[in-house]
Structure 1
Amino acid sequence: MTASDPAHSDPTQPAPTPADAAHADRTHPDPSRPSLAHPDEDPWIWLEEVDGERALDWVEARNRDTLARLSGPGFERDRDALKSAMDRPDRIPHVTRRGGLLYNFWQDAEHPRGLWRRTTLDSYRDAPEATAWEVLLDLDALATTEGEDWVWHGADTLAPAHERAMLSLSRGGGDAHVIREFDLATRTFVPGGFDLPECKGGVDWIDRDTILLSAALGEGMVTDSGYPATVRVWRRGTAPEAAAEIFRTAPGNMGAWGGWDRDRGEVVVREQLGFFDVRLHLGDAAGMRRVLDLPTDMRADWSHGWLVLQPRTDWTVAGTVWAADTVLGIGFEDFLGGGRALVPLFEPAPRRALQSFRWYGDRLLLSVLDDLRPVVTVRVPAEGWRESRLAGLPEIGVVSVWPLDAEPDETDGTLLASVQDPITPPTLLLTREGQAVPEPLRQSPALFDATGLVVSRHEAVSTDGERIPYVQIGPADTTGEAPVHMTGYGGFQVSVQPYYSARLGQLWLERGGTGVITHLRGGGEFGTRWHEAGRLARKRLSHDDFAAVAKDLVERGVTRPGRIAAEGGSNGGLLIANMLTRYPERFGALFCTIPLVDMRRYTKLLAGASWVAEYGDPDKPEDWAFLGEISAYHHVEAGRPYPPILLATARRDDRVHPAHARKMAARLQALGYDAGFYEPAAGGHGYGKDSTEIATFSALGMRFLRQAIGWEDPAG
């Protein structure tokens, strides 16, 4: 038997087939491919078959290797402690009010899938153990009865009576879900009621017998990104596929979603042209009548006769240039009639950016980060857009404020606020405009020992001179050997904030480690300017920013490169993969989760086509010129000083394809690198569907990082 005999090959590698002629031999894959010179020669492409027999054999073999390496008493203690923290009965149950009752979805050790339940505000004010909850649906019992791996995706009740709801349930945790009509009085699904097969999309009530349907159900109803291409009016007693179509978007657009505006009594269709571009259509159940005369990159929302706008780029209208991210108000009917007498409600600055605006009744809630400090204000348009700042909220840490009521037209002005920081567990407050001191409702228990920990803010200088903020959590004194856990994201204008984390606290901080949370370009911490600085051809700068923070930690004497463990997921997984190939000398270990890695084929995998506005189109040579720079999969080389890496994904992730992590791990392993892989069978675009899965995923990753930087005895 010779070395070239297939019997000598890895038994988990599949034999070649004629269909693979365009790719390298699958029995002996060439680990030098793909490369920038040969970007389309992918010998690992068979791992894109999510449930393919050969692919699953490969996955299970790698799972066994990872569990054998990382399991043991230490892992079990970590997993069980984290699961216990996640299942604590005294943690805060977050609520939304509908029709006078507070609704909550709750998971714990006895109910891992969860309970949908409700109570009154008076009862919620009682001690946690005294709250009188009415259980509407036991998802564990339903899953057992129906033999399905149900994961809760939410509920939409029919106002104003709130006697019926449309429940969304996912099989295994993916984005696709079924939607079924539920009777809240009998606590049962409605026989012969609305029942939508599994797909991506959603519904919205028009009335008890009529639904707006936005569903990617099949041929002719799905965009290239896998989202709904049509909006339809679905009437009781008919099949969803036969529902009357009132709007259709082009297949190349991201998708279309319909909603019912109860205030105005009309249909609103949000036609998503790309991730950051949208057209808004107004009409009724017979069809759409008009398009709002707005730039496609404009954010818009309206309530009680008032319209609020926020342009993403500078907007010239009626002879006035409004800067990007300015918030503008006007009467809705005035705007529809051609009026453009806009009132500025918020004006950005280089380090001051609006994070969100939302209506609750006739009031507008605005949340701002002013140099990363939270500021929350209320505007009242009927009083000349009068402004007031919500009182009694902290000026440091993380402050999140939202209306208590799910329906804007049912609000009495009550707001909920959550306040926290990395070493202070969240407190839930009840407040409203003009209230001097918010009312504490619930306090989360302390989930780790924060004694001796301090929180400080610092700035690193990136490759082009930009100052990159980051938050450091850990002991006040370090000796240059601190075990550091770094995280980052840097994409889609998502703002990263320093939340309280049981995971980081239990598995890193209380053991003497230091945590670092980075605010990279590509995020939204400083508005559209900050996002644009890390988008498309500038995406590589967000990766440079992360590496600059790692360098700054060493220069400040906090640690050394071999003691820095970095983690990121999704777009943050792309970041971590680039740390491996672009900055390997700055890190001691990497945990790359649910990642994008192969930027040559990402648009062909699941929802990837919807992210072209963020990354670029690899089929265009001018875009591949910069995408190739950050496609870590194409930069893997033999003989590089790569730190140990664990790549982890989820088989039921139908947003970011698990093949990204699979193929990267396979190629690194073929070259002899220390590259682990883990893929649980369930879970969507996250770390799991329940506390057991999330705790397992997290404990494995943190144990790997600690071992790889020499901070934990593998036998511990």
Structure 2
Amino acid sequence: MKKIKTLIGTAMLAASLTACDNKPKETNMEDPYLWLEEVEGKESLAWVEDRNTETYARLKEDSRFNGFMERSLEVYNAKDKIAYGSIRGDKVYNVWRDSKNTRGLWRMIDLEEYNAGKDTWETILDFDKLAADEKENWVYKGRDCYSETGRCLIRLSRGGTDAIVVREFDMKTKSFVEGGFSSPESKQYLAWYDQDTLMIATDFGPETMNDSGYPRQVRLWKRGTELSTAEMIFEAPKTDTFSFPTASRRHDGTYVGVLHGPSFFTREFNVMVEGKLTKLAISEHAELTGYMGDTMILSMRKDWIVGSKTAKAGTLVSVKVSDAAADTVENSLATVYAPAEGASIDGTSIGKDRILVNVLDNVKGKIIALHMKEAEWISSDINLPANGTVSILSNDDSTDEGFLGYDSFLQPDTVYHINAAGETKAIKSLPARFDARDLVTEQKFTTSKDGTKVPYFVVRHKDTKMDGKTPTLQYGYGGFEISIKPGYLGGLNMQWIENGGAYVVANIRGGGEYGPSWHQSVLKENRQGAFDDFIAVSEALINSGLTSPKHLAVRGGSNGGLLMGAMITQRPDLYNGVICAVPLLDMLRYHKLLAGASWMGEYGNPDIPEERAYIEKYSPYQNLDSAKDYPEVFFYTSTKDDRVHPGHARKMAAKMFGMDKPVLYYENTEGGHAAASNLKQRAFSDALQLVYLMQKLQD
């Protein structure tokens, strides 16, 4: 990975470097810890090594550490895991990881044999062997296949970063194509234009990446030519968020084009019409779900009024591509599905003649099927268990065969095969990983500061005494319209429950649990509402008698790490432990670090005075107060996280050290934004966190 350019001048950097002891020395600079933003700087990495050594001495040397790690690995590497697959025609494809295949095997099996539970998998590509042969720390990041030729674009990352290399692979020969398409390492996107041409958005050189570090140009790259000679078909302003190629290749039509995001939550749709890239007359607040014949299927984030018609926020709508290209949208704009009050669309997948929609109803899932009948969309419920989380695992657009999933906090995953007629049959179930007979799950609601009703789930032992002594771990996220749903407990959460703890998931605003409005209500200047929701859940847990501040810890990562930062600085009295993972914390500089500029639609722009004014009120890094008492915080991140800059966690930890506040810090030297690139690293992280929680809440 290329080192990021230092963000301060050489003289300032030299002046700010401090001894890497437990308390970095203060200087007269506005930010004395800015030097920690140099990701792979010698001094920065020395500081990280010292912090890791301290954390290992405290957590790794605990007598429980090895047992916790082995228990997680037992689950992650289990031979009886479900091999989740994607259907393409009569084949099922899967990437399998276990103790032997830590990087994974890409393999395939006949659909009939998969449904019958047979183990007749055929290996296509062994990523462990590839990494060993090439002496590279390859992490598989996905593929894009051209089904007619059996050629695939394989995405590979060094150490789990978002930056990837892309190489053409032939499924028939099970080998990379000699002289085939191969793009250099970059944050990049590719799609097949035709079998001999790619659409590619990558780093083409100076000024071709935007302020967020993503490509701003899309070019046509013909087989056998140099990448530098590729024809540019689209270029976005440097300040815009993203631009990437798209391709839909179905039995009933092919559409290729460019999806452009002026901001994180707005879209412009461009489709090739008669060889010309044409901007479609589609609302910037629509999300493209896909195509069905000559029709686009869109999910609306805000109301879209076109003449006498209105496409409501939170609904699924359709419009003919030809009308969108000719700016005659009103001719064909129609509602496909509108969820009832209290429900929201959580996912959509388009098959051959059917659309599957994942619906959340008060954070509990169901799946409906939509068919066109006599020019109207007809919905029908799919037969799956209730009161849990459902998912569309795979939906083949050539056959309408698919796989659906169901699980809950206490019920293991089950995979259902759904046929073209909509009939479902359970074909695979995960064995129970823990004894759930004495456990219960409750969904509760509490009232936030502004009167909003906020749902949360509690998983606990059924005989829990409401005496305020139950060790409790509360989790939250609250951002980017991402819904946090019940899922079978594993790894850290499973062991926490096994060791007598209670686990809580707070469905705070900022997520998508109740549709776009649930997210949009706490954007930018209203961000405090998400923090207030999380605080309200914590207070409800304490007032119910389940736990008390002495026995309550909280955990969150990425945007959830920002949430944790707000809990540290705003309500330190509520918690005795905080796990803050791959976090955003310096919100006055987040937009200058890695992909941060792309999130200004969520948080605001600190360079605009009126927006800076509300951001600095909650920005955790700036709101630390040496006069306050804080719970001990466990920060963890990754050196290879090229999405959320590790400088956030480094600087916050260093500043707290400098204030003599209790801090633990761990930084994995690889792993990307997930902070773990394989199952062993994930189990290692589980064990560190579990020991920390046991020490804080139970010992």
Compute the TM-score of the two structures, normalised by the length of structure 2.
0.94
- 2:477 alignment counterpart: 489
Q: Distance in 2 between matches of 1:254 and 1:298?
A: 16
Report how far residue 386 of structure 1 moved: 3.4
Amino acid at match of 2:108: R
Alignment of 1:98-137 (within 5 A): 98-127=88-117, 130-137=118-125
- 2:600 alignment counterpart: 612
- 1:626 alignment counterpart: 614
Aligned match of 2:11 in 19, 22, 25? Answer: 19
Alignment of 1:564-603 (within 5 A): 564-603=552-591
Q: Greater shift after overlay, 489-498 or 476-485?
A: 476-485
Aligned match of 2:232 in 241, 245, 257? Answer: 245
Does 2:397 correspond to 1:448? no
Alignment of 1:222-233 (within 5 A): 222-233=209-220
Amino acid at match of 2:444: H
Q: Greater shift after overlay, 277-286 or 164-173?
A: 277-286
Report how far residue 285 of structure 1 moved: 9.2
Alignment of 1:404-419 (within 5 A): 404-405=395-396, 408=397, 410=398, 412-419=399-406
Aligned match of 1:529 in 517, 520, 528? Answer: 517
Post-superposition CA distance 1:642-693 (Å, at most 9, x none): 1111000011000000000000001101111111100011101113111100
Amino acid at match of 2:469: E
Change (3 A) 1:445 1:137: same
Amino acid at match of 1:568: G
Change (3 A) 1:523 1:104: same
The answer on whether the counterparts of 2:287 and 2:301 sit within 8 Å (CA) in structure 1 is yes
The answer on whether the counterparts of 1:304 and 1:361 sit within 8 Å (CA) in structure 2 is no
The answer on whether the counterparts of 1:299 and 1:312 sit within 8 Å (CA) in structure 2 is yes
Report how far residue 334 of structure 1 moved: 4.6
Does 2:191 correspond to 1:200? no
- 2:272 alignment counterpart: 283
Change (3 A) 1:61 1:504: closer
Change (3 A) 1:65 1:21: closer
Does 2:672 correspond to 1:684? yes
- 2:205 alignment counterpart: 218
Q: Greater shift after overlay, 646-655 or 230-239?
A: 230-239
The answer on whether the counterparts of 2:475 and 2:554 sit within 8 Å (CA) in structure 1 is yes
Does 2:33 correspond to 1:44? yes
Change (3 A) 1:284 1:215: farther
Q: Distance in 2 between matches of 1:331 and 1:321?
A: 16
Look up the SS of the partner of 1:649 in the other structure: strand
RMSD: 2.2
* Structure 2 gaps, min length 5: 1-7
- 1:391 alignment counterpart: 382
Q: Distance in 2 between matches of 1:181 and 1:118?
A: 18
Aligned match of 2:294 in 305, 329, 351? Answer: 305
Q: Distance in 1 between matches of 2:452 and 2:418?
A: 38
- 2:412 alignment counterpart: 425
- 2:360 alignment counterpart: 369
The answer on whether the counterparts of 2:484 and 2:513 sit within 8 Å (CA) in structure 1 is yes
Equivalent pairs counted in the alignment come to 683
The answer on whether the counterparts of 2:217 and 2:232 sit within 8 Å (CA) in structure 1 is yes
Report how far residue 470 of structure 1 moved: 0.1
Change (3 A) 1:186 1:605: same
Amino acid at match of 2:119: T
Aligned match of 2:170 in 163, 183, 187? Answer: 183
- 1:12 alignment counterpart: none
Post-superposition CA distance 1:162-202 (Å, at most 9, x none): x2211111000011111111122222111111111111112
- 2:4 alignment counterpart: none
Report how far residue 27 of structure 1 moved: 5.5
- 1:514 alignment counterpart: 502
Report how far residue 284 of structure 1 moved: 6.0
Q: Distance in 2 between matches of 1:208 and 1:333?
A: 25
Look up the SS of the partner of 2:449 in the other structure: coil
Aligned match of 1:352 in 317, 329, 343? Answer: 343
Look up the SS of the partner of 1:344 in the other structure: strand
Q: Distance in 1 between matches of 2:402 and 2:459?
A: 30
Change (3 A) 1:689 1:18: closer
Post-superposition CA distance 1:36-84 (Å, at most 9, x none): xx9x811000001111000000000000000000013311110111012
Report how far residue 395 of structure 1 moved: 2.2
Q: Distance in 2 between matches of 1:429 and 1:548?
A: 38
Q: Distance in 1 between matches of 2:223 and 2:324?
A: 36
Does 2:305 correspond to 1:316? yes
- 1:258 alignment counterpart: 245
Does 2:281 correspond to 1:293? yes
- 1:9 alignment counterpart: none
The answer on whether the counterparts of 1:216 and 1:226 sit within 8 Å (CA) in structure 2 is no
Amino acid at match of 1:463: K
Post-superposition CA distance 1:438-477 (Å, at most 9, x none): 2112111212222300000111211111111000001123
- 2:317 alignment counterpart: 328
Post-superposition CA distance 1:251-284 (Å, at most 9, x none): 1111211123334444211011111101001126
Report how far residue 639 of structure 1 moved: 2.9
Q: Distance in 2 between matches of 1:96 and 1:226?
A: 31
Q: Distance in 2 between matches of 1:28 and 1:688?
A: 25
Look up the SS of the partner of 1:110 in the other structure: coil
Look up the SS of the partner of 1:439 in the other structure: strand
Q: Distance in 2 between matches of 1:164 and 1:28?
A: 50
Does 2:453 correspond to 1:467? yes
Q: Greater shift after overlay, 368-377 or 79-88?
A: 368-377
Report how far residue 522 of structure 1 moved: 0.5
Does 2:104 correspond to 1:87? no
Report how far residue 110 of structure 1 moved: 0.6
Q: Greater shift after overlay, 663-672 or 313-322?
A: 313-322
Amino acid at match of 2:41: G
Aligned match of 1:67 in 56, 62, 72? Answer: 56
Q: Distance in 1 between matches of 2:70 and 2:517?
A: 43
Q: Greater shift after overlay, 238-247 or 17-26?
A: 17-26
- 1:272 alignment counterpart: 261
Change (3 A) 1:99 1:241: farther
The answer on whether the counterparts of 1:115 and 1:139 sit within 8 Å (CA) in structure 2 is yes
Identical aligned pairs, as a percentage?
A: 34
* Structure 1 gaps, min length 5: 1-15
Q: Distance in 2 between matches of 1:132 and 1:446?
A: 25
Q: Greater shift after overlay, 178-187 or 270-279?
A: 178-187
Report how far residue 325 of structure 1 moved: 1.8
The answer on whether the counterparts of 1:687 and 1:698 sit within 8 Å (CA) in structure 2 is no
Report how far residue 348 of structure 1 moved: 4.5
Report how far residue 417 of structure 1 moved: 0.8
Report how far residue 99 of structure 1 moved: 4.4
Report how far residue 156 of structure 1 moved: 1.6
Report how far residue 91 of structure 1 moved: 0.6
Q: Greater shift after overlay, 586-595 or 395-404?
A: 395-404
Look up the SS of the partner of 1:204 in the other structure: strand
Report how far residue 510 of structure 1 moved: 1.4
Change (3 A) 1:25 1:97: closer
